[in-house]
Chains A and B, each alone.
Chain A
Amino acid sequence: MKNLMHKTLITLAGVAVMAFSAFAIADEDKKASFAPDVPHPTNGSTECVEPEDEMKKNHMKYILHQRDETMYEGIRTRTYSLKECINCHVPENSEVRYGDDKHFCSSCHNYAGVSIDCFQCHMDRPMGKNPHKSNAQVHPPVEAEVADASVAGASNE
């Protein structure tokens, strides 16, 4: 009788421990997700231009396609443009720059070990309404004495 009680108690305790650890593991899973935390659009929209799974896999193809259409054919629609990714996913006046884990593009690229050079030229944040654009000095005019302006016009000597 005593033996049986012992066995029952041990079994119950074992079950309790197992159940608890199972919950603990489930809880752990939720916290330490493998996917990085990607910032959502700042304009309140909940849907991207294509379903999320498609964008995760193929966003680079859409952007590349749009790039060439814009460059060579002058098609300046916004839907698939890199500019619109930035306008939608990076808050205006954001201090966060590409390379920072909190930047929309970097959040995933850093995790996946992807290196891109888009932002060596393109803006990594929205332009805003009144950008400070230029500090360029105006150089003094190129001066030349010529016999015929239309022939020697481009001379810089």
Chain B
Amino acid sequence: MNKKAITNNETINISRRSFVEKSATAAAALTIAPGVLLNQVHAKPAGQPITDAKRWGILIDTAKCGNGCNDCVTACNEENGIVSHGRPLTDQQWIRKVKLKDKMTNHVVSLPMMCQHCESPPCVDVCPTGASFKRVDGIVLVDRHICIGCRYCMMACPYKARSFAHEEVEATVDYQPRGKGTVESCTMCVHRVDNDGTPACVEACSSNEHGAMVFGDLKNPQSEISRQLEKHGGKQIRADLGLNTGVRYRGI
């Protein structure tokens, strides 16, 4: 009996010692290379769920956005396998270019308009099945497994960001399944974001001369998007609705 108790004690002590050693090593690593570790904070291990420590956003500088340039739209179509049926009124559009002319000054601004990834999304409020939802990191999506295609969300969205798939879709990409009878919209390229990537539109915009779009974490004060927002500010479209959008604009 006694012998057994002693053995158990030893086991506990050994594991405690190794625990202390490991903690010390970890602490040393933190002290020695804080910069290195800080730079890797962005990466999410593939098997880990997303958290609300981040909120993804896009800042668009309308002064840089090219009037007549459609690179973001083309990139989005290509990335997500969007197909036209020659019916502009009902064809899917996840992102579209908008040209606004100020009545008084005649000043023209051109900007891309897509799902604004609201903090309080009206599309989620009205969805009867719970298919329209917001991920904890702020990306608003449609779970097409449970979407019944009622299109309430399309009516609720003040940005006309959502489209309905009227036709059968020939799947051409395996990361973005799309199908007839469901509603769809910009996913902020969630399949890329989850793998530490950048949305296709932002990538296309920064690879041409415009570089009008910045993607990043709004909750991280050190991120490029937060620093630009702090320096220049960024307006929400229809800020009066109080939706707190994740997509912000400069120069409007």
Show the binding face of A for B, using Cβ within 8 Å. 67, 69, 71-77, 83, 86, 119-124, 126-127, 131-139, 141-147, 149-154, 156
Contact = CB atoms under 8 A, between A and B. Distances in A.
Given A133-B173, A150-B252, A153-B238, A143 B99 contact: yes
A73 B48 CA distance: 8
Q: Which of A127, A132, A141, A156 has the most CB of B within 10 A?
A: A141
Contacts of B182: 121
Interface of B: 44, 46-50, 70, 73-74, 77-84, 86, 88, 91-93, 96-104, 109-111, 113, 133, 135, 137, 141, 143-145, 158-160, 168-169, 171-175, 177-180, 182, 190-191, 193-195, 235-240, 249, 252
A150 B50 CA distance: 32
A141 B101 CA distance: 12
A127 B171 CA distance: 9
A74 to B, nearest CB: 4
A127 B81 CA distance: 12
A96 B112 CA distance: 40
Contacts of A76: 46, 191, 194-195
A121 B183 CA distance: 13
Given A137-B91, A153-B237, A153-B249, 8 more contacts: A121-B177, A127-B175, A139-B93, A141-B110, A147-B102, A149-B109, A153-B98, A153-B111
A36 B103 CA distance: 70
A137 B88 CA distance: 9
Contacts of A127: 172-175
Given A83-B174, A131-B173, A153-B98, A121 B237 contact: no
Contact of B172 (A77, A131, A143): A131
B48 A153 contact: no
Contacts of B175: 83, 127
Nearest to A147: B103
Given A74-B137, A127-B173, A154 B160 contact: yes
A76 B236 CA distance: 31
B134 to A, nearest CB: 10
A80 B111 CA distance: 40
B48 A134 contact: no
B44 A146 contact: no
A79 to B, nearest CB: 9
A73 B50 contact: yes
A21 to B, nearest CB: 52
Contacts of B83: 134-136
Nearest to B89: A139
A126 B174 CA distance: 7
A146 B44 CA distance: 42
Given A74-B135, A131-B172, A142 B50 contact: no
B171 A122 contact: yes
Nearest to A143: B99
B160 A121 contact: no
Contact of B44 (A74, A131, A136, A154): A74
Nearest to A146: B100
B238 A154 contact: yes
Contact of B238 (A119, A145, A150): A150
A150 B249 contact: yes
